[in-house]
Structure 1
């Protein structure tokens, strides 16, 4: 059976102090990659490193504290880590809101984090990948890019833009061994989603897993699994797409959405 071996590769995962990002970092390290952890606060970065080192005693980790939702933060990251083989643009923000009450400033902040962090880091790291003729760039998008949620229109639009960015960058790397793909998770039970569910149901005594299943049935009734995915289930497809095994997959939008997007 073919295995995934990322020994000798360096991977950067933005927004990797928790949730899907931390799961991706762990899976990449398990496959042998040197993993760069990123977050906005030293405390959260240190905590993530402790978790990873405990889970993977032989793993190799570095870290950069930087807010990639700003141009300055991206510059800090690139100036600290000048080259990577695998770039996982995972940093993102979301939350339910009323479109008609959402300000320009809120839209701008969301796009700075969700889209422009990936724009800036791809612009910085991809020329080196092209020169070395090997690289993997992955944008953690969402099924919301296709199935725009009425309660988070701004979020959905930012993820739709991400799909376009990834497809265009893949075409720009034509004829090389640098691939660019998007990953489209469906509802996923990350820490951020847990916090959202608890905020929406402050008086509930239900376990968070039941709240998550209720959310899926109410807001994503087309979901075939009828539950939220785990962060590890999302991380698994990310690591495959980052590996040599996915060498013929580029310009793709890879769904790990539990069948939520009702299309063949």
Structure 2
């Protein structure tokens, strides 16, 4: 019986800093998993509020960086702040917006509004690219790194068979295009970097909570399980696969 091929990028060997942006359910679970899986990485969590002050989880060794993704001034401060830490090797963007006050996924054309489109695009499409711009100077030019952002299967144009959810679908599709384009630029400037779009599956977080009723229990992941699966995918990727769209199980998703 043959053994599994060796992991090309085992995180336990990486040294430097890891930045998780958006410290909700999946973001916090990623930081906890990285504590176990990547003990040599300095862990940084960026969010508007310091999540470490709530709950009973130990966040020893994890630094909070204040960041508002829709504030250009806040993004501009991120790069210089990162200069105080070891070189950046891993960035995972987890922030997303699906619903909120005055914002719900549209079921029909009559529910589409300019305000909702702009709000969704600001967080789901523009923020990941502007984050990449902010951290660009902190990423190595000649060493391996990962820049990953959570996308969603509903952002796939080829996989859209149900319609609806205009703003969210379109914003995630736009994110995919923007980061695909980024991957091509970094392939020239930072050839050992890997940019990835990741679909975490339906995860039991505040983002998906209004829409979980119809999800089979075996298809609703805990944040901890989602984090493990996402890091498994990242560890299996190489620079040659930069700019691609992956599901939680490592399968490619059509654009």
Please indicate the TM-score interval, normalised by the length of the shorter structure.
Answer: 0.7 to 0.9
Give the equivalent residue in structure 1 for 2:28. 22
Give the equivalent residue in structure 1 for 2:200. 185
Q: Which 5+ residue runs of structure 1 have no aligned equivalent?
A: 198-211, 218-224
Give the equivalent residue in structure 1 for 2:146. 136
Task: After superposition, give the CA deviation of every residue in 1:184-211 in whole Å (9 maximum; x if it has no partner).
Answer: 12322113323x25xxxxxxxxxxxxxx
Aligned counterparts of 1:26 and 1:45: Cα–Cα separation in 2: 12
Matches for 1:172-251 after TM superposition, within 5 Å: 172-174=185-187, 176-194=191-209, 196-197=210-211, 212=212, 214-216=213-215, 227-243=219-235, 245-247=236-238, 248-251=240-243
Give the equivalent residue in structure 2 for 1:122. 132
Is the alpha carbon distance of 1:105 and 1:255 closer, same or farther for their aligned partners in structure 2, counting shifts above 3 Å?
same
Task: After superposition, give the CA deviation of every residue in 1:60-112 in whole Å (9 maximum; x if it has no partner).
Answer: 21111221132233223334224622111111111233353343222212211
Provide the aligned length of Structure 1 versus Structure 2. 229
Which of 39, 49, 53 lines up with 2:47 in the alignment? 39
Structure 2 contact 105–168 (Cα < 8 Å) conserved? no
Is the alpha carbon distance of 1:239 and 1:256 closer, same or farther for their aligned partners in structure 2, counting shifts above 3 Å?
closer
Relative to the length of structure 2, the TM-score reads: 0.77
Aligned counterparts of 1:125 and 1:11: Cα–Cα separation in 2: 12
**What value does the CA root-mean-square deviation take over the aligned residues?**
2.9
Runs of 4+ in 1 over 4 A off after TM superposition: none
Give the equivalent residue in structure 1 for 2:114. 104
Give the equivalent residue in structure 2 for 1:221. none
Aligned counterparts of 1:114 and 1:164: Cα–Cα separation in 2: 12
Structure 2 contact 93–150 (Cα < 8 Å) conserved? yes
Relative to the length of structure 1, the TM-score reads: 0.74
